[in-house]
């Protein structure tokens, strides 16, 4: 059907998140209709990104610079480090614009079933950063899942020997959320986290 | 957020069919995690496709060869030409394996509201093929929409001067379809197309 180039394009497009064979065919057709204005620019953007983007050697963020633009930004508060599971979480916090300190990307959460143990997480570089001094507070911003909670407890324990305040993100009713659709765990957490 | 390369990659990914900013960020992260095994192969497949894939000068199909692999296949019945709206329709018929003749891609349907007139469709090359002789039947396989029906009628009229049988695809109850969920138009067409 159209030669090996089209077959290969569809096969690789169908592995994109949220895509299957049908949507991959549709995307291939859309792109092939405008090779100069859509297909080649996307191919070029992918190649540029693959060649230039690296993990930041300090925090694990993805950037075309190392250290990344957040670690290199003199305007950020270097005394607060926010620990996140992945780069996607870091992007979400940056879009919200609610954290003015630095980050540390853990690269996952402890998951015995998923085969992720302490050695698979980027904890050693975090401890090195704390040993170097200058950090006053570590915010653990992991997901409110079983794995996230386990990792938060384990990490809080590992950080207890350092002269830093260890906090974790609050849990409760999300903004815009109605109480009657929330699960029991969230309602319990919201009641526990009540403020006068 | 990660430098201009990542921003550009996300911006272009978000223009893929079915994608938005959120899914584009997710796809960018997935691809950037495996630059060598996922990002570069996809970039390469896109570039190869953009450089090699052309519209077939005979039928309008997309292929890396010209004439396309269907027009060049000596095993196909050259006396039957199936007229379709786009390459996606041609692909669907090929996957079904129900047509052993050749194709002609019209490139659209007549749509006064959408600004598509007779001159925007690839009808002249079809007439040239018929003038060259050898074609016995033209199957009009356009969609059962208002535009498709209009184009079918208009095209059947234009082809009436040629010594070819002009047929159009049957309309009725789709395979696996229950009658009570079908619209009135489909039910009417199915009754009209009844066979004893």
pLDDT tens per residue across span A159-168? 999 999 999 8
Residue-wise pLDDT tens digits, A20-30: 999 999 999 99
Q: Which two tokens stand for residue A96?
A: 């919200």
- The span from the CA of A167 to the CA of A135, in Å, is 13
Report, as an integer, the average pLDDT of B164-177.
Answer: 88
Beta bridge partners of B105: B84
CB B110 within 8 A of CB B116: yes
Cα B162 to chain centroid distance, Å, stands at: 25
Beta bridge partners of B165: B137
Among A74-78, B111-115, B151-155, the range scoring the smallest mean pLDDT is B111-115
Residues 6+ apart with CB under 8 A from B90: B61, B70, B84, B103, B105
**Would you say residue A188 has pLDDT above 90?**
no
Is B64 in contact with A2 (Cβ distance < 8 A)?
A: yes
**Would you say residue A1 has pLDDT above 80?**
no
Q: What is the structure's pLDDT at A183?
A: 87
- The span from the CA of B167 to the CA of B159, in Å, is 11
Beta bridge partners of A84: A105
Give the number of other Cβ atoms within 10 Å of residue A104's Cβ: 26
What are the φ and ψ backbone dihedral angles of B33, each rounded to 5 degrees? -70, -25
- Taking only residues 85 to 114 of chain B, the set having a beta carbon closer than 8 angstroms to any beta carbon of chain A reads 86-88, 91, 94-95
| Prediction ipTM score | 0.86
- Alpha-carbon gap: B8 to the closest alpha carbon of chain A (Å): 6
Residue with tokens 């980027």: A122
CB B145 within 8 A of CB B109: yes
Q: Which two tokens stand for residue A168?
A: 């974790």
Is-cis flag, bond preceding A67, omega within 30?
yes
Is A53 in contact with B35 (Cβ distance < 8 A)?
A: yes
Considering CB atoms only, which of B12, B32, B45 is closest to A53? B32
- A77's enclosing H/E stretch is strand A77-84
* Chain A neighbors of B63, CB-CB under 8 A: 2-3, 6
Residues 6+ apart with CB under 8 A from A172: A186, A189, A190, A193
3-state secondary structure of B101: strand
All structural domains of chain A, each given as residue ranges with its CATH number in brackets, are: 4-52 (1.10.8.420), 62-168 (3.40.1360.10)
Q: Which two tokens stand for residue B176?
A: 């696996």
B2 touches chain A (CB under 8 A): yes
- The span from the CA of B122 to the CA of B108, in Å, is 8
Nearest to A39 by CA among B16, B69, B34, B144: B16
Long-range contacts of B111-116 (CB under 8 A, 24+ apart): B111/B147, B114/B147
- The span from the CA of B127 to the CA of B143, in Å, is 21
Is-cis flag, bond preceding A76, omega within 30?
no
Confidence of residue B196 (pLDDT cuts 50, 70, 90): confident
| Ramachandran assignment for B134, one of left (phi > 0), alpha (psi -120 to 50 degrees), beta (any other) | left
- A87's enclosing H/E stretch is helix A87-96
Nearest to A4 by CA among B49, B95, B50: B49
Residue-wise pLDDT tens digits, B41-74: 999 999 999 999 999 999 999 999 999 999 999 9
**Would you say residue B190 has pLDDT above 90?**
no
A12 touches chain B (CB under 8 A): yes
3-state secondary structure of B146: helix
- Taking only residues 119 to 178 of chain B, the set having a beta carbon closer than 8 angstroms to any beta carbon of chain A reads none
- Taking only residues 56 to 85 of chain B, the set having a beta carbon closer than 8 angstroms to any beta carbon of chain A reads 61-65, 68-69
């Amino acid at each position: 059907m159209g030669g090996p180039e089209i077959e290969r394009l569809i096969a690789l497009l169908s592995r994109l998140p949220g895509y299957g064979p049908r949507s991959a065919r549709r995307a291939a057709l859309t792109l092939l209709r405008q090779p100069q204005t859509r297909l080649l620019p996307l191919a070029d953007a992918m190649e540029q990104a693959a060649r230039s983007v690296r993990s930041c050697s300090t925090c694990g963020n993805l950037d075309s610079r190392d250290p990344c633009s957040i670690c290199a930004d003199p305007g950020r508060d270097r005394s607060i480090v926010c620990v996140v599971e992945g780069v996607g979480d870091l992007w979400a916090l940056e879009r919200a614009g609610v954290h003015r300190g630095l980050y540390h990307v853990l690269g996952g959460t402890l998951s015995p079933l998923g085969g992720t143990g302490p050695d698979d997480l980027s904890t050693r570089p975090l401890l090195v950063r704390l040993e170097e001094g200058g950090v006053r507070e570590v915010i653990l911003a992991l997901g409110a899942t079983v794995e996230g909670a386990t990792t938060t407890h384990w990490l809080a324990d590992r950080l207890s020997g350092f002269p830093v305040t260890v906090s974790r993100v609050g849990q409760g009713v999300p903004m815009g959320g109605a109480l009657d659709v929330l699960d029991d765990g969230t309602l319990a957490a919201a009641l526990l986290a009540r403020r006068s």
